[in-house]
Chains A and B, each alone.
Chain A
Amino acid sequence: MGNPSDGAPQHGGTVATAGQAGGVFEDPGIPPHRLRLSDTDPKAAKRAERQVTALFIISVIGTVVFLVSYFAIDLGPTSTVDTIRTQNILLGLSTAFAMLGIGTGIVHWAKSLMPDHEVSEARHAVRNEDDRQAAVKIVDDIIEETGIKRRPLIRNTLIGALALAPLPALAVFGDLGPNATDILRHTMWAPNAQTGKKVRLTRDPDGTPIRAADVTIGSAFHVIPEGLNDLKENRNNEKAKAVVLLMRLNPEDLHISPGRETWSYNGIVAYSKICTHVGCPVALYEQQTHHLLCPCHQSTFDLTHECQVIFGPASRPLPQLPIEVDSDGYLVATSDFHEPVGPSYWEREYS
């Protein structure tokens, strides 16, 4: 301990070190210890002692304040945000003082009053050659005593058994979820299978139906299918697939491809709100440029060109919902989407 000059940091080894023709510097050893003010001046030491004590007392005050603000302020179903905020600040700051008082006190104590002599200690080898040889011998003996090398039949069947044994452990996770990719391609927009009644477009979140006449040029509606709010279960699952954006443009601004002529009504178009990238709601509509923007990863879709991707990480256009007007003047979905909505998946094109 304490011998500072036990060798220079240079070593032998395969590494080519610099051709230091001029030699290397000798290690001067640990620099001489410099006394602190508190080591030489008893007054300074006394002062440090008082400071440490003061810090510990601050901690005690912090703890007391915590207890007072915990018991003095009660929370319940009627407490106001102001009460909560006040209590949070009081509890937090008193904890901060309680902890910082102890922490800074101890560190100050260590730095000003405890001895600060640096000492040197020898390192030991991580491994002894003796131990290695003994260990190798033990392992060899163990293997020999099991006879696993002489009896390959035992070894091979054991390997086989061990390899198969985890299979049940994997199998028991089989009920974690269904493997029904089919449900991904159906939404609530499909007309009723028995009656053929088509689903009305209703406002999100209150579920009131939308008249075609209500949709003025430049307006946009967040849309859910009629009956969604009445679902007892899986409401979020259905909503996650069925949400739609409804907008009205000048009909001459729309570039409609063959086969989709009947999907819109007087410039009113409906597109899935679920981004084809990774599924965020495409919630931003730029009225002037007719762009739809996904706030998560900034995929941008051009409404005038059937929601083709013009920027960002999405690859596919948003699926269009074919719409028409029923006899009462309300907008309804002619059919379900013609493709699965949302992010792509492996079986997407597979029918």
Chain B
Amino acid sequence: MSSTPTSYQPPTKVGRIAEFVDQRTGLSSVTREFGRKVFPDHWSFMFGEVALYSFVILLLSGTFLTFFFNPSMAETTYQGAYVPLRGMDMSVAYQSSLHISFEIRGGLFMRQLHHWAALLFVAAMSVHMLRVFFTGAFRKPREMNWVIGGVLLILGMAAGFTGYSLPDDLLSGNGLRIIDGVVMAIPVIGTWISMFLFGGEFPGTAIVGRLYVLHILLIPAMILGLVALHLIFVVVHKHTQYPGPGRNDRNVVGYPLGPVYAAKAGGFFFIVFGVLAAMAAAFTINPIWNYGPYDPSPVSAGTQPDWYIGWVDGALRLMPGVIGDIGGYRQHFEFMIFNQTLSLNILLPALVPAGIVFTVLFIYPWLERWITKDNREHHVLDRPRNAPTRTAIGMAGFTFYCVMWAAASSDLIATHFHVSLNDVTYWLRALFFVGPIIAFTVTKRIALGLQRKDREIALHGRETGRIVRLPHGEFIEVHAPVDEYKRYRLVAFESPLPLPAQPNAKGVVDRRERRRAKLSKWFFEDRVAPVSPAELEAAHAHGHHEAIESAPAGSGH
């Protein structure tokens, strides 16, 4: 602060450069603000970092690929290094992809690095979102950042799909054909959109060039902007932290940015890069030379989209097109409306499950805030077990997703496990409806069970495995009390009671509020209260196993 140009003479060369820059930019205030900014540390906070670093690697490897890729669908005859395809007619896009793979030094490595990084990018974003959901990190003041994250996930999938289609190989061409079929099912404007997308009939000669512009310009620019916004919000809100001794909603406990946190996070970029490079070296991904150029006639069995598109493809597979003969007429899901065709067998699975997943994802923070009427800021995370209903909702959604995802591999499940493809589909159709309900119930019970286990440990200590025989013959296992720091971690959480319907400003309990109260009851009814000091006192005073077991565990039934 006292660095006026006249009084301060930097002693070193680096210092003189810093002084030059600082006088013109005022960066010292930024260093002062961020140099020792505290970041909480936890392994589960790394998923977001993995996503960010994979994106950086995508930009680096993608830029390299653009220098050699030619997104033209003009016809050409292959004369390159890969002998089995020589003399074959193909598009220039496919030829240049082969050229990158076989004739550019490091080209294959860059292609594989790019593809693996893309798969990891979406995977890391997904796991990061699961972490944020299950720990309640989306709560006030971070609801908007949760929405930004959701948009980033969608953009990541869009970036992946547009990139997947660029090499114009057989597999990606069939993927586009499926997209075309789905687009055509859209009522009224579907055929138009398809014609506009492909510049006429499928496949045409325009689509690769158009997807290329989306893939290398529009979508990455949007991702980049939203990532910047996402990180700005992290700075504004400061990072959340897990509950524990010394941590609360008014502080942030962790390591200072400089040097420890910056070193760990910066070093982690190189680790992510290194792991992806090892994968690109050792594991083939998308061997387009095996698939051949796009041709509308052939297709290989066991075709799979990239993993993140799988759930949508799986939903398409699960939907029955025909439900058999009823009253002598074939019942199917394609209807005629005013002499126009409505293909619900395509429209429903393409739109409804994805619609449900993303709608619930985007509105969930507001939904929970409305149900719980909890309008406070939360900077301390919930352990998933301490919010049993939310955790159960999350697992129900996760199961819903996974059933569809599994359905995208129904044929491979059938061939690998030697079971009937039809049976696999029937089971998955049932699980599509029943799976989320089972997951909800089971998860909630597990969460409550873990809470009870926490209570037991807080009250009686941990099991030591040491069995002692008392003078009168009874065997007991010695429990060692946990120290106050560990205990605090087990007992320091909120366990709200259901909030009954409240009268509004006019003193009336309206129907909406009664509905909210019902949901609040559903949300908080099953609860295990944290141990209180009095209970601990009692447990120590009795010092006897049975006496404590029979004490109420705080269950709200």
Contacts and interface: CB of A to CB of B under 8 A. Distances in A.
Contact of A23 (B194, B341, B425, B532): B532
Given A92-B277, A121-B38, A342-B181, A24 B497 contact: no
B252 A121 contact: yes
A297 B278 CA distance: 34
A315 B273 contact: no
A224 B295 CA distance: 12
Given A5-B246, A13-B374, A295-B300, A28 B485 contact: yes
A295 B299 contact: yes
Given A184-B201, A299-B321, A313-B349, A9 B248 contact: yes
B251 A177 contact: no
Contact of B332 (A119, A239, A315): A315
A142 to B, nearest CB: 24
Interface in A288-309: 295-299, 308-309
B178 A15 contact: no
Nearest to B493: A9
B184 A343 contact: yes
Given A27-B488, A344-B334, A179 B192 contact: yes
Interface stretch (B62-70, B124-132, B261-269, B359-367): B261-269
A118 B343 contact: no
Contacts of B177: 240, 278-280
B340 interface: yes
Contact of A95 (B109, B195, B316, B554): B109
Interface stretch (B76-84, B391-399, B432-440): B76-84
B322 A115 contact: no
- Residue of B103, B181, B313, B529 with highest tally of chain A CB at under 10 A: B181
Contacts of A195: none
B263 A345 contact: no
B250 A87 contact: no
B549 interface: no
Given A9-B248, A345-B190, A309 B180 contact: no
Contacts of A97: 274
Contacts of A103: 267-274
B308 interface: no
Interface stretch (B20-28, B151-159, B375-383): B375-383
A6 B102 CA distance: 63
Contacts of A98: 274
Contact of A177 (B199, B203, B298, B537): B199
Contacts of B187: 346
A266 B377 CA distance: 78
A349 B1 CA distance: 78
Nearest to B301: A295
User: What's the interface size class on B, roughly?
Assistant: 35 or more
Contacts of A329: none
A279 B343 CA distance: 13
Contacts of B59: none
A75 B181 CA distance: 40
Contact of B260 (A14, A114, A279): A114
B315 to A, nearest CB: 9
Given A18-B554, A315-B322, A349-B341, A92 B282 contact: yes
B196 A315 contact: no
B320 interface: yes
B87 interface: no
Contacts of A110: 259-260, 263-264, 267
A9 B249 contact: yes
B534 interface: yes
Nearest to A316: B334
A227 to B, nearest CB: 16
B178 A280 contact: yes
A89 B79 CA distance: 25
A120 interface: yes
Majority-rule SS of A interface residues = loop
Given A27-B248, A31-B485, A123-B379, A343 B103 contact: no
Contact of B296 (A25, A78, A184, A239): A239
Interface residues of A, number: 123
A35 interface: no
A25 B488 contact: yes
A239 B295 contact: yes
B45 interface: no
Contacts of A346: 184, 186-191, 340-342
A277 B238 CA distance: 50
B109 A313 contact: no
A17 B494 contact: yes
Given A5-B246, A179-B195, A237-B200, A79 B343 contact: no
Nearest to B556: A18
Interface in B185-220: 185-192, 194-204, 206
Nearest to B204: A237
B540 interface: no
Nearest to B37: A121
A188 B515 CA distance: 61
Contacts of A73: 105
Nearest to B332: A315
A118 B252 CA distance: 10
A125 B82 CA distance: 62
B254 interface: yes
B95 to A, nearest CB: 12
B278 A176 contact: no
A116 interface: yes
Contacts of A21: 532, 534
B346 A104 contact: no
Contacts of B375: 13-14
A100 interface: yes
B255 A119 contact: yes
B421 interface: yes
Nearest to B198: A177
Nearest to A243: B297
Contacts of A314: 321-322, 345
Contacts of B425: 298, 311-312
B505 interface: no
Given A20-B530, A89-B282, A349-B336, A297 B317 contact: yes
B532 A115 contact: no
A277 B346 CA distance: 7
Contact of A17 (B80, B101, B495): B495
Contacts of A119: 38, 253-256
A16 interface: yes
A83 to B, nearest CB: 9
Given A93-B278, A295-B300, A348-B341, A84 B554 contact: no
Nearest to B342: A346
B203 A15 contact: no
Top 8 nearest A-B pairs (CB, nearest first) are A92-B281, A278-B181, A22-B534, A22-B532, A103-B270, A106-B267, A100-B274, A30-B246
23 contacts: A13-B374, A14-B373, A18-B554, A25-B487, A25-B491, A27-B248, A27-B492, A88-B280, A89-B281, A92-B282, A103-B274, A105-B267, A107-B267, A110-B264, A118-B246, A179-B192, A278-B178, A313-B318, A343-B185, A344-B341, A345-B191, A345-B194, A348-B340
